[in-house]
Amino acid sequence: MRHRLKDVAERAGVSVKTVSNVVNGYVHVRPDTRARVEEAIAELNYRPNLSARHLRKGRTGVIALAVPELDIPYFAELARYVVTAAADYGWTVLIDQTGGRREQERVVASGITDHLIDGLIFSPLALTAEDLAGLDGTPMVLLGERVDHGPADRVVIDNVTAAREITDHLIQLGHRRIAAIGSQRTDEGASARLRLAGYAEALRAAGLTYDEALVAPAPAWHRADGAAAMRGLLTTGVRPDAVFCFNDTLALGALRALHEAGLRVPEDVAVVGFDDIEDGRFSIPTLSTVAPDKERIAKLAVELLANRLDGDRAAPAKELKAPHHLELRESTQTSLGPVS
């Protein structure tokens, strides 16, 4: 049996309005009254009718999350955190993937005008600020640095600093021929350019030469691309003693190629990644990596979306920065204990 506000009010001996005030977080409720209502809610296992609440506000209670690829573990893990954060607002999340294609990203962006969703959290690879101009003002939060100074709120991490820190970790360990896997020269490669910039900054700060022969492109950031890039580096004649892969899936591919070549990690070649996906905690060896706070990214994005829904939609766009840290594991250090 599904209980109603009226049932809770009768059990607590208060009005329906008082119960509604408690459920909706209204602060001006006497503590003893609030306690009686909360006790009645618990006893009856009352759950608010979120659909009715959304309809009263003229909303669907549904938001969308659009990412380039769901089979990239970073985006799958991020999606889980977005779903969890959205649940705190009673929202359902529809998830779509764009393949990083501009045409599909434009379809997703323009699709928010259909009033099927209340807002969109979007991680674009090819979209431009011009593509977003002229939309109907439905709230949108962007993830990443692709659309710089665009018309929507966005959540970013400091890719340049993070890349510099993980490269400096390799330098501090004594490595001098540090390769980079994952460079991209296409318009879609914003994250690749920023991570390459951080890598180059760390080399310059240490007095090391930036060598194009040690920078391997990757058309996509999949395991196979990382393995192919690593095999290519090993045939150049200038074998690296460390490799910074621009995401963890590239790093997993690189680990495979090094194993096939009979090279030990980290004794012969140290390897680091970026993203701190779960697979890297169970690879052999476990993977040192940059760990963006994916849970924080998701919460910030959902909060920005909620603020736009309930606040001033015409206010200037905001940019929030999520933290990151380094997770140092066996692929750069040989003295670590077992993985927990």
pLDDT digits (tens, 9 = 90+) for 144-201: 887 666 678 999 999 999 999 999 999 999 999 999 999 998 777 889 999 999 999 9
Q: How far is the C-alpha of 299 from the C-alpha of 322, rounded, in Å?
A: 10
Q: What is the pLDDT of residue 255?
A: 98
Q: What is the pLDDT of residue 45?
A: 83
Q: Is omega for the bond preceding 285 within 30 degrees of 0, making it cis?
A: yes
Q: Give the residue, 261 or 130, on which the prediction is more confident.
A: 261
Burial class (CB in 10 A: 0-12, 13-18, 19+), 88: exposed
Q: In which residue ranges of the chain is CATH 1.10.260.40 found?
A: 5-48
Q: Give the residue, 31 or 246, on which the prediction is more confident.
A: 246
Q: How far is the C-alpha of 76 from the C-alpha of 166, rounded, in Å?
A: 23
CATH 3.60.20.10, domain 5-48, yes or no: no
Q: What sign results for the dihedral spanned by CA atoms 276, 144, 78, 72?
A: negative
pLDDT digits (tens, 9 = 90+) for 7-24: 888 989 998 888 878 876
Q: Is omega for the bond preceding 217 within 30 degrees of 0, making it cis?
A: no
For the cut 90, the answer to whether the pLDDT of residue 75 exceeds it is yes
pLDDT digits (tens, 9 = 90+) for 125-138: 888 777 777 666 67
Written as six digits, the tokens of 320 are 């929030």
- Topology at the third CATH level for domain 159-292: Rossmann fold (3.40.50)
> What dotted CATH number matches 60-156+294-324?
3.40.50.2300
For the cut 60, the answer to whether the pLDDT of residue 118 exceeds it is yes
Q: How far is the C-alpha of 105 from the C-alpha of 139, rounded, in Å?
A: 16
Q: In which residue ranges of the chain is CATH 3.40.50.2300 found?
A: 60-156+294-324, 159-292
DSSP letter (8 states) at residue 185:
-
With H, G, I as helix, E, B as strand and everything else as coil, classify residue 104: helix
If you average pLDDT over every residue of the chain, what do you get? 88
Q: What is the pLDDT of residue 88?
A: 87
Q: Which amino acid is it at 241?
A: D
For the cut 50, the answer to whether the pLDDT of residue 254 exceeds it is yes
- Alpha-carbon distances, residue 109 vs 64, 122, 135, 301 (angstroms): 10, 8, 8, 16
